[in-house]
Each structure stands twice: as C-alpha cells, then as structure tokens.
Amino acid sequence: MKRNLKSLSLLILLSLTFLFTGLSASYLFPSYVNRESLLIMVPVFFFIAALSLAIFFNAGRRDPDQKIVRTFVALSLKTILCLAFALIFFLVLKKKDSGTVILFFIIYLGFTLFVVFSMLNTLKKSH
C-alpha cells in the first residue's frame, strides 16, 4: 500500500511537471507548444498511467501467481489505450502540426518510462 501511494504521488508530480514545463514553454515559444493540446494530453496520459499502475499493484494482492499475467495486461492495456488516444487525437481532432506531434511523443515517453520503471522497481523489491 505504501508503494502504491508513493507511485501515485510521483505520478502526480510528473504530471504537474509536464504541465508547468509545457505551459512555461508555451509562453516562451507560442508557435511550438500548443496549450490546448498540452491540457488534453497530460490528463489523458495521467489517467492511462494510473489505470495501468492500479492493475499492476492489485495483481499481487489477489493471487501472487497471476502477477506476471496482470503485469502483461497492465502494459498491454496501456499500449492499446495510448494507441487509441493517438488515433483520436491525430485523426479525429486533426492535431497534426509538428510541435503537437513532438509534444505527444515526449509526454508519451515520459509516462511510459515512469510506468515501466515503477513496475521494475516494485518487482525488484518483491524478490
């Protein structure tokens, strides 16, 4: 439980860091950073990462033998949800300028690395 709260608080801190950094960059370089896109992307990626971590952390409580399967499900669901969000964001909302695409992949990479390292750190401490 303590690890869950620590990971969630670090995830909130990561989200706030992306928001404040992106908003600061949008004031300095308004043609490169789209504030609307930033304010859509960060909460969506926060929700996807939190959902993935919730699935992962609940895996050990119910059945320790299913931890590997639940880890796979958490990472697969994260990937599918991010892919669905990318399709909606780029094709339906038509946010295709280069600054928005670069911002999307920077935020995606940040949240993905956070989720993977949180899972690896938890698995390393459990063995």
Predicted local distance difference test score (pLDDT) of residue 70: 86
Closest CA to 113 of 1, 38, 32, 10: 10
Give, in degrees to the nearest 5, the angle at Cα 98 between 33 and 35. Answer: 20
Q: Tell me which H or E stretch contains 10.
A: helix 2-28
**Measured torsion, CA atoms of residues 89, 84, 79, 31, in degrees rounded to the nearest 10:** 0
Q: With H, G, I as helix, E, B as strand and everything else as coil, classify residue 99.
A: helix
What is the tens place of the pLDDT at every residue in 14-72? 999 999 999 999 999 888 888 999 999 999 999 999 999 999 988 766 676 778 888 89
Predicted local distance difference test score (pLDDT) of residue 60: 63
Confidence of residue 127 (pLDDT cuts 50, 70, 90): low
The range of the structural domain enclosing residue 118 comes to: 2-126
Predicted local distance difference test score (pLDDT) of residue 20: 96
The number of folded domains in the chain is: 1
- The pTM (predicted TM-score) of the whole model is 0.91
